[in-house]
Amino acid sequence: MKTLQDIENQIIRLTTSIEVNYPELYATLDENPMTIPTNAHPDMTVSIMEDYLESLKQILKQYTKTHNKQ
């Protein structure tokens, strides 16, 4: 079973990779609805963070499909 720390590390590695390799995509990540909490002190559970990690993976997958990196 993955821990919250494991998932956070994966998110950091993925967002860093996006920042370095796809800066134009990275600039839009803060606009992703998954990054906007609905309350002042949201609970960050393993499930919520796994969903966020998966959403980042899907965003990157879709972006690389539609934008060929030269």
pLDDT tens for each residue of 17-42: 999 999 999 988 875 555 555 566 56
The pLDDT of residue 28: 86
First to last CA, the chain: 38
43-to-19, 26, 28 alpha-carbon distances in Å:
26, 24, 24
Question: Which is more confidently placed, 44 or 58?
Answer: 58
